[in-house]
Amino acid sequence: MPNLFTIGYEKAKPDAVLDELAHAKVKILVDTRAVAASRRPGFSKRQLAASLDERGIAYLHLQKLGTPAGGREAARAGDLKTLWRIYAKHLKTPQAIQAMDELVALVESKNPICLLCYERDPGHCHRSRIAEIMHERTGARVTDLIPKIFDEK
């Protein structure tokens, strides 16, 4: 049974996220953000990929699995019902279907993979839906990684 992890970087520093990934022995980080830019230092695509590479973790951005703009707005407003409706519609697009198929192949390779997005709580993030689909399609065991927050020692 393949292992699939998820992680959100909200309230975490890059090293805390990288440490969680290393502890879980993740081999590939799959960035599920529609926009792989961040105002948080260390979490934009190039910076993150370089930091991961230093730790022997591959980086893949599956942009088409990201939440469309309307879904991101709903998430920021705390409107999860709208987020899930918009994301369900998005998952039916040819681009999202192709990206999901690519992810299935990665998960089936049995390399430990982790899905990354911003939200700390996986229940408030589209990555939880991606993980559910991966479980349904591959039988992957899903584990949510929770990095230490800023103030924790």
Per-residue model confidence as pLDDT tens digits over 29-88 = 999 999 999 999 999 999 999 999 999 999 999 999 999 999 999 988 999 999 999 999
Domain ranges of the chain: 3-145
> Which DSSP letter does residue 68 get?
P
Residue 153 above 70 pLDDT? Answer: no
Query: Which sign does the torsion angle of CA 141, 66, 18, 46 carry?
Result: positive
| Radius of gyration (C-alpha) of the chain in whole angstroms | 14
> Contact 4/143 with Cβ under 8 angstroms?
yes
pLDDT tens-digit profile of 65-76?
A: 999 999 999 988
The CATH class for the domain spanning 3-145 reads alpha beta
Q: How confident is the model at residue 151, as a pLDDT?
A: 64
Mean pLDDT within 89-103: 98
Q: How confident is the model at residue 150, as a pLDDT?
A: 74
Lowest average pLDDT, out of 16-20, 67-71, 147-151, goes to 147-151
In terms of DSSP H, where are the helices of the chain?
Answer: 14-23, 45-54, 69-76, 80-90, 94-108, 127-138
Percent of the chain with pLDDT over 90: 90
> Contact 151/107 with Cβ under 8 angstroms?
no
Q: What band does 1 get if pLDDT is binned at 50, 70 and 90?
A: confident
